[in-house]
């Protein structure tokens, strides 16, 4: 293993990402149309039991910029999906730490009883372990329609704890093993900030899964998701309409072509819909309170659009928990 700490890049050019329609060089900015709403994400709230370095949503035990979404608020969107006859099959949850939301278990139950598949991102630590009875019950009733994705930043304790804090590894491994033993469908999300090749990362995680008797295929990018780093202060090119052909990247591969996220900002009277999990705070990306209002195309006017999605090859399936 040849591992380095994250390397810094030049600072973002302040002339970039200013005009939603036009780039700094005067070219038309790229757009992504909503093809079909396959996955609806909910941010459950930004409070978290950890304060990880490089957490893209800056979660911590004190960050409540996004407040807890309620089960009733989630149900309102499930009702809208039915009313609009949308093709949505998956409802996904990210935080913060979703298991800190006091209504998360009622929310998951409502989603699964509604016939949806459900994905939940977690650090699998103490907040999750307080809910083991109800998680086991959902597993019994709904089987692999519930998937839990656990964040393990690296396959070694030292590097995982370097970002997440001392002793977080052993607590997360305890939760991961409990999920596996209970038969919950699980996958794992790691980070690629280590200067290590993807091949080496997948091999390392494979050794860990084998040693822990965790049945995840490390070569399967859906079972072991490896996320590029996100740092909006580093310089990146802006994405223009002609970039799709030049880069041979399809706009339909962007997360915002097939999903949206609902967030509830502190002090707001109602939740609001945003394009994706990566842009929870910037009000210039708000679509309004309903899914109907969120069908507009997205203008790729943010460094994350370029670095993480178009150039970074992130699967856009979110990387916080
Ligand atoms: S960050 Fe990615 S998914 Fe989000 S709006 Fe930009 S391109 Fe779309
Ligand atoms: S990366 Fe996940 S566990 Fe860490 S602070 Fe952010 S939300 Fe919490």
What does the pLDDT read at residue 308? Answer: 85
In a domain, 47, yes or no: yes
Taking the centre of ligand 2 as the mean of its atom positions, its distance from the CA of residue 56, in whole angstroms, is 8
In a domain, 24, yes or no: no
| Ligand showing the shortest atom-to-Cα distance for residue 41 | 1
In a domain, 127, yes or no: yes
In a domain, 12, yes or no: no
Neighbouring residues of 191: CB distance < 8 A, sequence distance ≥ 6: 54, 153, 154, 163, 226, 227, 229, 319
CATH of the domain at 228: 3.20.20.70
In a domain, 1, yes or no: no
164 has pLDDT over 90:
yes
Question: How many CB atoms are closer than 10 A to CB 126?
Answer: 14
Domain encompassing residue 61: 36-237+254-310
What does the pLDDT read at residue 319? Answer: 46
In a domain, 67, yes or no: yes
142 has pLDDT over 90:
yes
38, 255, 273, 319, best to mutate for ligand 1 pocket (most atoms within 8 Å of CB): 255
Number of H helices, E strands in the chain: 9, 10
Q: How many Cα atoms are found within 13 Å in the side-chain-facing hemisphere of 29? A: 22
Tens digit of pLDDT for each residue in 43-80? 999 999 999 988 889 999 999 999 999 999 999 999 99
CA distances to 159, 206, 265, 314 from 278, rounded to whole Å, are 24, 28, 15, 11
| Ligand showing the shortest atom-to-Cα distance for residue 280 | 1
Count of the separate structural domains present in the chain: 1
Tens digit of pLDDT for each residue in 230-285? 767 778 899 999 999 999 999 999 999 999 999 999 999 999 999 999 999 999 99
In a domain, 318, yes or no: no
pTM of the model: 0.93
Rounded distance, CA 232 to CA 195, Å? 19
Nearest CA to ligand 1 atom 6: 305
Confidence of residue 145 (pLDDT cuts 50, 70, 90): very high
Q: Which atom of ligand 2 is nearest to the CA of 58?
A: 6
Q: Which atom of ligand 1 is nearest to the CA of 239?
A: 7
What does the pLDDT read at residue 231? Answer: 67
In a domain, 17, yes or no: no
């Amino acid at each position: 293993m040849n591992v380095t700490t994250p390397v810094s890049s030049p600072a973002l050019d302040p002339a970039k990402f200013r005009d939603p329609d036009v780039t700094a060089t005067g070219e038309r900015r790229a757009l992504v149309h909503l093809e079909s709403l396959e996955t609806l994400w909910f941010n459950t709230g930004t409070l978290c039991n950890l304060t990880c370095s490089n957490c893209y949503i800056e979660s911590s035990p004190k960050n409540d910029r996004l407040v807890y979404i309620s089960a009733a608020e989630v149900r309102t969107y499930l009702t809208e999906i039915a009313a609009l006859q949308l093709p949505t099959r998956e409802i996904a949850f990210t935080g913060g730490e979703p298991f800190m939301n006091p209504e998360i278990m009622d929310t998951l139950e409502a989603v699964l009883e509604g016939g949806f598949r459900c994905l939940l991102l977690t650090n699998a630590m103490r907040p999750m372990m307080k809910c083991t009875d109800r998680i086991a019950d959902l597993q019994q009733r709904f089987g692999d329609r519930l998937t839990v994705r656990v964040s393990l930043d690296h396959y070694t304790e030292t590097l995982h704890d370097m970002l997440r804090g001392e002793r977080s590894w052993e607590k997360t491994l305890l939760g991961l093993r409990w999920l596996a033993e209970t038969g919950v469908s699980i996958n794992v999300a790691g980070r690629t900030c280590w200067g290590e090749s993807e091949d080496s990362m997948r091999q390392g995680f494979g050794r860990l899964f084998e040693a822990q008797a965790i049945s995840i295929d490390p070569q399967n990018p859906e079972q072991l998701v490896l996320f590029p780093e996100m740092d909006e202060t580093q310089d990146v090119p802006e994405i223009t309409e002609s970039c799709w052909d030049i880069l041979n990247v399809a706009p339909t591969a962007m997360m915002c072509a097939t999903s949206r996220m609902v967030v509830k900002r502190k002090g707001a009277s109602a939740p609001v819909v945003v394009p994706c999990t990566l842009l929870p705070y910037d009000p210039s990306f708000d679509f309004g309170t309903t899914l109907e209002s969120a069908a507009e195309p997205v203008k790729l006017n943010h460094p994350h659009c370029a670095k993480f999605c178009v150039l970074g090859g992130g699967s856009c399936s979110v990387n916080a928990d």
